[in-house]
Amino acid sequence: MATQEHLLDLPSVGDLNPAPPGKMTEEEFVTWCDEDTRAEWVDGEVVVIPPLSVDHGDLRTWLLAVLGIFVEETDLGEVLPDVHVRLATQRTRRVPDIWFISNQRRDLLRHAHLEGPPDLIIEIVSPDSESRDWREKYLEYQAAGVREYWVIDPMSQHAEAYALPASGSAETTATVASEYRRLEEKEGIIESTVLPGFRLRTAWLWPETRPKVLAALRELGLLGPST
């Protein structure tokens, strides 16, 4: 959990770098958006993202630890938070809470952004982002070819995951290939189709039932039994 000292350092809404009036070109946005500003560019419009709440930050930190260690230990690719994803086909630059890129597609990594769709994106819903996360980004990521999209809503304690059909599968047709399918939750567990062996109990996502990182990794088979 966040300490009192950490809470004192959290920026307030008044500390946000306000978006300049009017539309911006992508080049203007890249120049304006410094490393201390969380903002997205959507076809000329600038969306400034408010500071994270403590609950949002705690969940993202936990997910980043579990997913990051899992990906590192299985040598599948790289997991990053708060780095711009440039989706040229959608004319957007998004800042997902967490995203994963496979080793086979690391050539898309640039100095300060990813040039193209990640293999997996996780968005944690906040009060100001409900419509963006559940609808706008869902449609955008689907059209851009993000293979898997997880939406986690701490406010309603509800999570859903979606995946595109695997390339070459019987279901991949001209009309189906670009449409997400919801991943079925079985006995409280959602399994990734992008990360072999990675699964999450939805109960792990909520504060009152969230295990320690090592306990979650142990259930994922990365650690031996506790002593």
Query: pLDDT tens digit string along 23-39?
Result: 999 999 999 998 888 99
Residue 9 lies in a domain: no
Report pLDDT digits (tens) over 152-177. Answer: 999 999 999 999 998 644 443 333 44
Number of domains in the chain: 1
Rounded Cα distance between 128 and 134, Å, is 12
The pairing of strands 120-124 and 148-153 is parallel
Residue 19 lies in a domain: no
Q: What is the mean pLDDT of residues 102-111?
A: 96
Rounded Cα distance between 109 and 166, Å, is 23
Residue 44 lies in a domain: no
The boundaries of the domain holding residue 141 are 52-219
CATH number at residue 166: 3.90.1570.10
Q: For 137-148, give the DSSP string.
A: HHHHHHHHT-SE
- Number of neighbours of residue 207 by Cβ within 10 angstroms: 12
Residue 1 is predicted with a pLDDT of 38
Residue 212 lies in a domain: yes
Residue 30 lies in a domain: no
Rounded Cα distance between 103 and 12, Å, is 38
Residue 99 lies in a domain: yes
The CA dihedral of 7, 8, 14, 17, to the nearest 10 degrees, is -80
Report pLDDT digits (tens) over 169-222. Answer: 444 333 344 799 999 999 999 999 999 999 999 999 999 999 999 999 999 998
Q: Is the pLDDT of residue 131 over 90?
A: no
Tell me if 118 sits within 8 A of 96, measured CB to CB: yes
Residue 93 is predicted with a pLDDT of 97
**What phi and psi values does residue 217 have, to the nearest 5 degrees?**
-65, -35
Tokens matching residue 45:
């419009």
Q: What is the pTM of this model?
A: 0.86
Q: How confident is the model at residue 225 (pLDDT cuts 50, 70, 90)?
A: low
With a CB cutoff of 8 Å and minimum separation 6, the contacts of 84 are 93, 94, 95, 112, 113, 114
Report pLDDT digits (tens) over 32-83. Answer: 998 888 999 999 999 999 888 999 999 999 999 999 999 999 999 999 999 9
Residue 148 lies in a domain: yes
Rounded Cα distance between 189 and 93, Å, is 31
Residue 203 lies in a domain: yes
Q: How confident is the model at residue 226 (pLDDT cuts 50, 70, 90)?
A: low
